[in-house]
């Protein structure tokens, strides 16, 4: 694992940078600006907002939102971040900023199901086309590139199967073909992986995961170093389509950033312990987690990540649906619920509810269980898994 050499810098960004207490009567906590408009002495002052970034109207910008965007951009080693009302709105923003009718998108098969569906929706309804591939082999990516490929959509590590792909290698291929790259970095948070360093063009987070961290915020963010993409993320998508993040959500996300590093590390500690416990259990067929020596891409994990998160995939040693459901329903500390990255541990079967004909190659993994480790402590989580495994 590479040393987390940015830790000291990141901690200062999380705790102090961009907070500017001198602007707010010495408050170390930037206020939530609940206003939807700003007013001016002269019309000319607000007519120049697109050039000078003056706050005019809440959909285009808000001082609380601005603090959040500046902190996330700095954490990701990016120039610009733009926040949206959800992670899905952030993906939609990235597609609309880089593609138009006639273009081709490559998307990782194991990306979050709604991300795959969103890409398919653009292909079906807006005159684009899409290819779904594992992206685990650079030759596969090269061979799938077309003259009109404009975007490669990645999620690495992918949130259920923990597939890790070569960010630098894929970015180089995409750029050679004139395409942009996008990664969903929600699993890692900016603490464990900074994809812009490997040449990726757009880094997305669902704020409801580690960044929000308290099961009380829905939001999304895209970070980029590319000025043209930034312009389009702001103008085409936030100004014209809408989908801006609420002021209160931005304030809650800033509050959550203070503890991001500690929360991610606690979740990592639990994730590693749970993965190790399950990996040696006779009723478990396979565990997917980047901390396990059996993970096939240790080379990339060591290069790209500075640690492991607390989300893992597990296949029980059975093909019986009712047995897997009994296991999930017997858990008491892990609650049944969507998302991850919060204080509370959660269990879900992310492919179970999807229409069978939408799963393709993933159909064989329909019974996979996803465990998100929160802050109840590894001992409590392992004891809970133990009693649930005894029931099957
Ligand atoms: C990996 C991943 N990416 C993106 C999203 C979408 O984010 P949001 O729910 O904020 O729209 C989710 C949602 O669960 C997710 O799991």
HEC string of the chain?
CCCCCCHHHHHHHHHCCCCCHHHCCCCCCCCCCCCCECCCCCHHHHHCHHHHCCCCECCCCCHHHHHHHHHHHHHCCCCEEEEECCHHHHHHHHHHHHCCCCCEEEEECCCCHHHHHHHHHHHHHCCCEEEEECCCCHHHHHHHCCCCEEEEEEECCCCCCCCCCCHHHHHHHHHHCCCEEEEECCCCHHHHCCHHHHCCCEEEEECCCCCCCCCCCCCEEEEECCHHHHHHHHHHHHHHHCCCCCHHHHHHHHHHHCCHHHHHHHHHHHHHHHHHHHHCCCCEEEEECCCCCCCCCHHHHHHHCCCCCCEEEEEECCCCHHHHHHHHHHCCCCEECCCCCCCCCEEECCCCCCCHHHCHHHHHHCCCEEEECCCCCHHHHHHHHHHHHHCC
Per-residue confidence (pLDDT) for residue 336, from 0 to 100: 97
The 8 Å CB, 24+ separation contacts for 234-238 are 234/60, 234/82, 236/93, 236/96, 236/97, 237/82, 237/84, 237/89, 237/92, 237/93, 237/96, 237/97, 238/59, 238/60, 238/82, 238/84, 238/93
d(CA 294, ligand 1 centre) in Å? 27
d(CA 175, ligand 1 centre) in Å? 26
Per-residue confidence (pLDDT) for residue 47, from 0 to 100: 79
Question: Peptide bond before 157: cis, by omega within 30 degrees of 0?
Answer: yes
Nearest CA to ligand 1 atom 15: 112
Nearest CA to ligand 1 atom 6: 87
Beta-carbon contacts of 214 under 8 Å, excluding residues fewer than 6 positions away, are 252, 256, 342, 343
Task: Please list the pLDDT of the chain residue by residue as tens digits (392 residues).
Answer: 778 889 999 999 999 999 999 999 999 999 999 999 999 998 888 777 767 778 999 998 999 999 999 999 999 999 999 999 999 999 999 999 999 999 999 999 999 999 999 999 999 999 999 999 999 999 999 999 999 999 999 999 998 999 999 999 999 999 999 999 999 999 999 999 999 999 999 999 999 999 999 999 999 999 999 999 999 998 888 889 999 999 999 999 999 999 999 999 999 999 999 999 999 999 999 999 999 999 999 999 999 999 999 999 999 999 999 999 999 999 999 999 998 999 999 999 999 988 888 888 787 889 999 999 999 999 999 999 999 999 99
Nearest CA to ligand 1 atom 1: 112
List residues near ligand 1 (CB under 6 A): 86-88, 112, 115, 155, 159, 184, 186, 206, 208, 218, 220, 339
Tell the CATH topology of 7-257: 3.40.640
Nearest residue to 304 via CA among 164, 181, 199, 193: 193
d(CA 105, ligand 1 centre) in Å? 19
Per-residue confidence (pLDDT) for residue 237, from 0 to 100: 81
Residue 186 Cα: closest atom of ligand 1: 1
Per-residue confidence (pLDDT) for residue 101, from 0 to 100: 98
Q: How far apart are CA 230 and CA 240, in angstroms?
A: 14
Residue 219 Cα: closest atom of ligand 1: 10
Annotated domain spans of the chain: 7-257, 260-390
d(CA 115, ligand 1 centre) in Å? 8
Per-residue confidence (pLDDT) for residue 53, from 0 to 100: 76
Nearest CA to ligand 1 atom 7: 87
Nearest CA to ligand 1 atom 9: 87
Tell the CATH topology of 260-390: 3.90.1150
Q: What is the pTM assigned to this prediction? A: 0.96
d(CA 88, ligand 1 centre) in Å? 6
- Asked whether the CA dihedral 171, 174, 176, 179 is positive or negative, the reply is negative
Q: How far apart are CA 325 and CA 310, in angstroms?
A: 22
Residue 207 Cα: closest atom of ligand 1: 10
d(CA 348, ligand 1 centre) in Å? 14
Nearest residue to 19 via CA among 70, 55, 95, 78: 70
d(CA 338, ligand 1 centre) in Å? 10
Nearest CA to ligand 1 atom 2: 112
| Count of Cβ atoms closer than 10 Å to residue 224 Cβ | 27
Per-residue confidence (pLDDT) for residue 353, from 0 to 100: 87
């Amino acid at each position: 694992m590479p040393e987390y050499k940015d830790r000291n810098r990141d901690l200062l960004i999380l705790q102090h940078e961009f907070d500017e207490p001198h602007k707010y009567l010495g408050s170390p906590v930037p206020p939530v600006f609940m206003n939807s408009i700003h007013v001016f002495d002269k019309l000319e002052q607000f007519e120049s907002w697109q050039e000078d970034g003056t706050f005019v109207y809440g959909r285009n910008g808000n001082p609380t939102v601005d603090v959040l965007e500046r902190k996330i951009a700095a954490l990701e080693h990016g120039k610009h971040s733009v926040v949206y009302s959800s992670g899905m709105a952030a993906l939609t923003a990235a597609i609309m900023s880089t593609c138009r009718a006639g273009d081709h998108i490559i998307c990782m098969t194991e990306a979050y199901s709604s991300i795959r569906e969103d890409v398919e929706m653009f292909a079906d309804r807006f005159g684009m086309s899409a290819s779904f591939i594992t992206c685990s082999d650079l030759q596969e990516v090269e061979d799938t590139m077309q003259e009109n490929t404009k975007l490669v959509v990645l999620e690495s590590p992918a949130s259920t199967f923990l597939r890790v792909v070569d960010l630098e290698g894929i970015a180089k291929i995409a750029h050679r073909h004139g395409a942009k790259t996008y990664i969903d970095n929600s699993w890692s948070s900016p603490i464990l992986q900074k994809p812009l360093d490997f040449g990726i063009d757009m880094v997305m987070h669902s704020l409801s995961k580690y960044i929000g961290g308290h099961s009380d915020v829905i939001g999304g963010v895209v970070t980029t170093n590319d000025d043209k993409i930034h312009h389009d993320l702001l103008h085409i998508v936030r100004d014209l389509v809408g989908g801006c993040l609420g002021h209160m959500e931005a304030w809650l996300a800033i509050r959550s950033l203070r503890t991001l590093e500690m929360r991610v590390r606690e979740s990592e500690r639990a994730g590693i312990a749970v993965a190790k416990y399950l990996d040696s259990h006779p009723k478990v067929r396979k565990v997917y987690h980047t901390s396990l020596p059996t993970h096939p891409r240790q080379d990339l994990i060591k290069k790209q990540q500075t640690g492991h998160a607390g989300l893992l995939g597990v296949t029980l040693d059975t093909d019986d649906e009712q047995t897997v459901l009994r296991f999930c329903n017997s858990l008491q500390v892990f609650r049944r619920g969507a998302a991850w990255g919060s204080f509370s541990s959660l269990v879900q079967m992310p492919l179970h509810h999807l229409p069978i004909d939408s799963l393709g190659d993933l159909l064989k993994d329909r019974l996979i269980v996803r465990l998100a480790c929160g802050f109840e402590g590894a001992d409590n989580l392992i004891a809970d898994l133990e009693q649930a495994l005894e029931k099957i």
